[in-house]
Amino acid sequence: MIETLRISLAKFAGDAGFVSLLRRAVALAGAELPALQSVKIGENGRLDGAGSAISALGDEAAVAITAHLLALLVVFVGEPLTLRLLSESRPDTQITFKHPEADQ
């Protein structure tokens, strides 16, 4: 998912734009999963050292990073535009945001 997002986001924000967002997302995820604090991000946005962290944590690490990345996108460009970007990266998938408050 992160790789799919990288390709899609780098198209309009550039590699540097994606990397800067990913660094923030990893830092925020690292607050929840300390193992991610050792993850380094390459200039092209690939996660160096993520393999060991992610394999140690399973899908949890990828989900945490992706969630924070998407949350950051929502903060900066809003939910509808984030959904559009996601739809472009996964045209065959129906994507919606689930709001926790809607379940209550």
Q: Which of 4, 7, 11, 17 touches another protein (CB under 8 A)?
A: 17
By CB under 8 A, tell whether 95 contacts another protein.
yes
CB proximity list for 33: less than 8 A, separation 6 or greater:
53, 57, 60, 61, 64
Q: What distance lies between CA 92 and its chain's CA centroid? A: 19
* 56/75 with CB nearer another protein: 75
Query: Does residue 55 belong to the site contacting another protein (CB under 8 A)?
Result: no
Which pair of structure tokens corresponds to residue 68? 């924070």
- Residue of the chain from 37, 48, 56, 97 that contacts another protein (CB under 8 A): 97
| Sole window of 2-10, 22-30, 34-42, 45-53 interacting with another protein (rule: CB under 8 A) | 22-30
**How far from the centroid of its chain's Cα atoms is residue 6's Cα?**
8
CA atoms within 13 A on the CB side of 69: 26
Task: Give the footprint of another protein on this chain (CB under 8 A).
Answer: 16-17, 20-21, 23-24, 27, 72, 74-81, 83-84, 86-87, 94-97
